[in-house]
């Protein structure tokens, strides 16, 4: 029998391919790689009908192929743009999706796919509150929409929990590039030094987190014991070149890249998407590192109790009585100390920390409820469901679906 020939893989003629341009910031390497993973997921599912064009920095080895107002193609994924570029692209009928919350005009010129900055702000408040803090600061860039969205959500969550909110404004984008580092340092130094201690500092992004941690070292302020620091993006370089390593909320780049490419494909296929349309993607979790580790509170008993809880919160049978024995005080004295330091009882703190840990599993993993119950010290999946419903008013399935929406 003659050997059968392999069926040829169908491939669209080059002239029929959709030319998709991608312009992402050179300074955000971790951001770029994660977004590209999502774009590649999309490209694989659409085969050769999509040809990606990216002006990849090559140290001069490749010819420059800028994506600007003169660019020609079918669609663009960009991280910010100028008013002139927006006008030029619209005049040529190029479909555009913006991966940033920012836009140059009074209203958005193009649909957007971004991280859910409201969820980012609330997640930051939850994490820092889990350290037993009562004071919280946000380092804000007053010229950016995304920073304002994070600020408002963080502030609301802090105040809802009875905490004290402190705001530090740094108008980074207004500073000339040549003198920007010096101006940032001058703007930050005084308000950082004046913060009460302990105080959790949430920074608008990882780069600002690096600045804050460098200043803490210069000022002789201990991190995390006096000032724990949290960033946003989870850039492996920025987060691991600080001392100590910096905790950060993870940017969901792969999901954003895939969702943005799918939206752009619909637009290139003729679907009318209004410019005000915005798809928000929940953060991909929170990477806990040393910068939000052990905090020293004014009451050493509460500090010891919280240290024990953070290390053992998922142990089956952890209780207020166990915590009292561990810290060497009576149950009633422990209750009084917790109320004075945190504004809540030991039982409330145990349940709050357990809830945060379970929700973290639901957000970050595909674990079954049986696995989560085993990992988190519950008797079974029904026990997990009842606990989460009582604590949040939502089912585990609802919490997980919100992450994947």
In a domain, 246, yes or no: yes
Counted domains in the chain: 3
Based on the domain organization, do 73 and 153 belong to the same domain?
no
CATH of the domain at 331: 1.10.10.60
Q: What is the pLDDT of residue 298?
A: 84
**CB atoms < 10 A from the CB of 307, how many?**
17
Q: Is residue 176 part of a domain?
A: yes
**The pLDDT of residue 359 is above 70:** yes
DSSP character for 4?
A: P
For the record, the structure tokens of 260 come out as 């943005």
What are the tens digits of pLDDT across the range 226-269? 999 999 999 989 999 999 999 999 999 999 999 999 999 999 98
pLDDT class of 16 with cuts at 50, 70, 90: low
DSSP one-letter string for 263-326: HHHHHHTT----TT-EEEE----EE--GGGS----SSHHHHHHHHHHHHHTTSTT--HHHHHHH
- Residue 105 and residue 125 in one domain: no
Whether 142 maps to a domain, the answer reads yes
Are residues 124 and 154 located together in one domain of the fold?
yes
Q: Is residue 7 part of a domain?
A: no
The verdict on residue 4 lying in a domain is no
- The CATH number assigned to the domain holding 206 equals 3.40.50.2300
Are 153 and 121 spatial neighbours (Cβ–Cβ below 8 Å)? yes
Tell me the helix, strand and coil percentages in the chain, rounded to 5: 50, 15, 35
Strand partners, 19: 51
What are the tens digits of pLDDT across the range 106-155? 899 999 999 999 999 999 999 999 888 999 999 999 899 999 999 999 99
Tokens describing residue 346: 């030991």
Which of 273, 292, 311 terminates a domain? The answer is 292
Collapse the DSSP code of 347 into the 3-class scheme (helix H, G, I; strand E, B; otherwise coil) and give the result: helix
Do 258 and 347 share a domain, yes or no?
no
- 225, 259: one domain: no
In a domain, 77, yes or no: yes
Per DSSP, the three-state class of 76 is strand
Residue 34 three-state SS: helix
Instruction: For residues 128 and 101, state if they share a domain.
Output: no
Does residue 208 have a pLDDT over 70? yes
- 238 and 311 part of one domain: no
Specify the pTM: 0.79
Residues 132 and 235 reside in one and the same domain: yes
Nearest-5° angle of CA 112, CA 113, CA 114?
110
pLDDT of residue 48: 57
Q: Supply the range of the domain harboring residue 393.
A: 300-404
| Mean pLDDT rounded to a whole number for the chain | 89
Asked whether residue 236 is domain-assigned, the answer is yes
351 pLDDT exceeds 80?
A: yes
- Summarize pLDDT for 319-333 with one digit per residue, the tens: 999 999 999 999 999
- Regarding whether 198 and 122 lie in a shared domain, the answer is yes
**Distance between CA atoms of residues 236 and 234, nearest Å:** 6
Q: Can you give the pLDDT at residue 99?
A: 96
Interacting residues of 282 by C-beta distance below 8 A, sequence separation 6+? 115, 116, 119, 252, 363, 402, 403, 405
Tell me the CA end-to-end span of the chain in Å, nearest whole number: 53
């Amino acid at each position: 029998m003659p050997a059968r020939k392999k069926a040829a893989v169908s491939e669209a003629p080059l002239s029929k391919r959709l030319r998709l341009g991608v312009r992402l910031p050179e300074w955000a390497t971790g951001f770029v790689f994660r977004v590209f993973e999502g774009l590649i997921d999309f490209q694989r599912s659409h085969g050769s009908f999509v040809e990606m064009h990216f002006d990849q920095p090559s140290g001069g080895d490749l010819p420059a192929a800028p994506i600007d107002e003169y660019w020609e193609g079918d669609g663009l994924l960009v991280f910010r743009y100028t008013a002139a570029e927006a006008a030029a692209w619209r005049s040529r009928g190029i479909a555009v999706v913006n991966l940033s919350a920012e836009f140059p005009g009074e209203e958005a010129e193009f649909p957007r796919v971004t991280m859910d900055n409201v969820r980012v702000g609330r997640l930051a408040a939850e994490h820092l509150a889990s350290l037993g803090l009562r004071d919280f600061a946000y380092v804000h860039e007053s010229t950016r929409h995304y920073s304002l969205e994070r600020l408002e959500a963080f502030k609301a969550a802090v105040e809802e929990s009875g905490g004290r909110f402190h705001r530090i404004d740094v108008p980074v984008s207004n500073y000339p590039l040549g003198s920007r580092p010096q101006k940032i340092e001058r703007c930050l130094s005084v308000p950082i030094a004046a913060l009460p201690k302990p105080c959790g500092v949430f920074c608008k992004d990882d780069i600002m987190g690096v600045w804050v941690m460098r200043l803490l070292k210069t000022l002789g302020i201990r991190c995390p014991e006096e000032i724990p620091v949290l960033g946003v993006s989870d850039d492996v370089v920025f987060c691991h070149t600080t001392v100590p390593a910096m905790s950060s909320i993870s940017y969901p780049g792969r999901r954003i890249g895939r969702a943005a490419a799918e939206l752009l494909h619909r637009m290139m296929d003729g679907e009318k998407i209004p410019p005000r349309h915005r798809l928000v993607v929940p953060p991909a979790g929170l990477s806990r590192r040393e910068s939000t580790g052990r905090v020293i509170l004014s009451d050493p008993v509460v500090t010891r109790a919280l240290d024990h809880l953070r290390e053992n919160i998922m142990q089956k049978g952890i209780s207020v009585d166990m915590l009292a024995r561990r810290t060497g005080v009576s149950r009633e004295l422990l209750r009084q100390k917790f109320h004075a330091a945190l504004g809540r009882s030991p039982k409330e703190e145990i349940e709050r920390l357990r809830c945060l840990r379970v929700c973290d599993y639901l957000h970050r993993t595909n674990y079954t409820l049986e696995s989560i119950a085993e990992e988190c010290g519950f008797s079974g999946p029904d026990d997990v469901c009842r606990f989460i419903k009582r604590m949040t008013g939502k089912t585990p399935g609802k919490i997980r679906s919100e992450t994947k929406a």
